[in-house]
Amino acid sequence: MNARYILGIDTSCDDTGVGIVELRPGGGVTVRANRVWSQTVHAQYGGVMPELASREHVERIDDVLEGALEDAGLTLGDLHAVAATSGPGLVGALLVGLMYGKGLAQALGVPFYAAHHLEGHIFAAAAEAELEAPYLALVVSGGHTHLFDVLAPGDYRLVGATRDDAAGEAFDKVARLVGLGYPGGPAIGEAALRGDPDAVPFKPPLKGQSGFDFSFSGLKTAALLAHRAGAKPDDLAASFQQAAVRTLVETTVRAAQATGRPTVVVSGGVAANRALREAFGRTGLRVVFPGPGLNTDNGAMIALSGAAAIMAGRAPSPLSVGAEAYAPLATVAAS
Ligand code: KG4
Ligand code: ZN
């Protein structure tokens, strides 16, 4: 059998992503294209405006698809399957990519696979090292902070999650507080290079808990108080980042010890953070991160989900599948 090409579409939030992966007969997978249009319209509001996100997806998706095909050196007729995110995410935004993907699959006469956004993030990292389960997966993004025990692809157990803000959301809010703009994660990372991480003391969140949950609202409030007390933005950025990284790494290490998993994949937008990567590098665990361009939302991770579904012999999704704002990964795993 020849190589098969799978298209993946993600429009769950404010990035219009279309990616293509090549699935070789032996089971190897290579990312052939990964085009993302990151919507800039939201910057002026300091957060994502759902209605504007949907409209932008509609306006951009044709061009993003064309660019991905061009990068891969393929035409629509070369595609063997289409995957698109059905949830979780902003419903109006999800619907754009989901309907587009279903229509494309039907027009081309190829199977369609609905994909779970968080599973896509996990596959983005897992593909880097062709991992064997079981392993832990920490998904840290603007909307999620979830720690899963991956028993097998498609079989996930939730080990811990944030009790309030997502990690990326906290980075974004602290960045806005000190005037660093949106999205704040990369801006905090840069400002932190110039600041003193020990200048502002942050209390460790959920200290003494026996479980593996996360909390970021206390760090956010502490940042606000320090800002009002006159802390320098660079010092505040460095200190906040250190505290956020510490809680993510320490909780994950404890979970790895408790479950006996030697390997952790870390994915989602915040996985691009250099301090987080360095801190995980010092843990002694085997830690796998997504490759360049695969941390933040993208279509290639959804194409990887499609490839995994094909390899696992999963039946294609019915074209009646709908978009779901709230979709716990466990329900998808059971389907
Ligand atoms: O995965 P993603 O693109 O979207 C969601 O599914 O939410 O993640 C976006 C989030 C934003 O909150 C952004 O500030 C954060 O990831 N982020 C970072 C970095 N790059 C992106 N946070 C910290 N350091 C970074 N370098
Ligand atoms: Zn995401």
Please list the helix, strand and coil fractions of the chain in percent, rounded to the nearest 5, in that order. 45, 20, 35
CA of 268 to the centre of ligand 1 (A): 7
| pLDDT at position 183 | 80
Mean pLDDT of successive 10-residue segments in the chain (335 residues)? 94 98 93 96 86 97 98 98 98 98 98 97 90 95 95 92 96 94 91 98 92 96 97 98 98 97 97 98 97 96 96 95 90 39
| pLDDT attached to residue 61 | 98
pLDDT given for residue 254 in this prediction? 97
What whole-number distance in Å separates Cα of residue 121 and Cα of residue 112? 19
* Burial category of 45 from C-beta neighbours within 10 Å (exposed 0-12, middle 13-18, buried 19 and up): exposed
CA neighbours within 13 Å on the CB side: how many for 6?
31
Q: Name the closest ligand to CA 173.
A: 1
Atom of ligand 1 nearest to the CA of 144: 7
Q: Is 171 in the pocket of ligand 1 (CB under 6 A)?
A: yes
**Closest to 213 measured CA to CA, from 246, 252, 185, 241:** 252
Nearest listed ligand to the Cα of residue 119: 2
Cα-to-centroid distance, 89 and ligand 2 (Å): 9
The residues that bridge with 8 in the sheet, in sequence order, are 19, 83
Give me the pLDDT at residue 181, please. 82
Tokens read off for 52:
């504007």
Alpha carbon of 142 to ligand 1 centroid (Å)? 5
pLDDT of residue 127: 86
pLDDT given for residue 334 in this prediction: 39
Q: What's this model's pTM, rounded to 2 decimal places?
A: 0.95
